[in-house]
Amino acid sequence: MRRLKTTEVTNVRRLMLEAQAARCSLCGTPCTAQQAVLDHDHATGAVRGVLHRGCNSLLGKLENNAARYGVRDIGTFTNGVAAYLRAHMTNTTGLIHPTHKTDEEKRLLRNKRARIKRAKTKEQVCE
């Protein structure tokens, strides 16, 4: 194994992105040079691949916080997440969480707040 020099990172990232057919190693969608970052394992320093900046950030948050939340095996957890989300792409329970607001409910609430704000402003001007 060889430690990369800082000056080599850009070229290695470009070559790896080309080898990955210009796709993010994590999500598999197209990845431009501007979106690409060189991902590495924070425990070992091993370079793993090229990811979108956002994919890399979310992966880092998952890896860095897993133990805090009691996740012992990230691989098992992420496989479970993928299967769980696929299984629930449609509402299988027929229930909606009480705190969820539809886009229409959000719009109505925004309008109500705007009306109240306008009324207060108008009230202050009239005084």
Superfamily of segment(s) 6-73: His-Me finger endonucleases (3.40.1800.10)
pLDDT tens across 15-52, in order? 999 999 999 999 999 999 999 999 999 889 999 999 99
Tens digit of pLDDT for each residue in 98-124?
Answer: 999 999 999 999 999 999 999 988 888
Query: Per DSSP, what are the bridge partners of residue 36?
Result: 52
CA angle 93–95–99, rounded 5-degree value: 140
pTM here is 0.73
State the DSSP string of 6-40.
GGGHHHHHHHHHHHTTTB-TTT-SB--TTTEEEEE
pLDDT at 94 over 90: yes
Note the pLDDT of residue 61.
94
Give which of 21, 19, 25 is closest to 50, Cα–Cα: 25
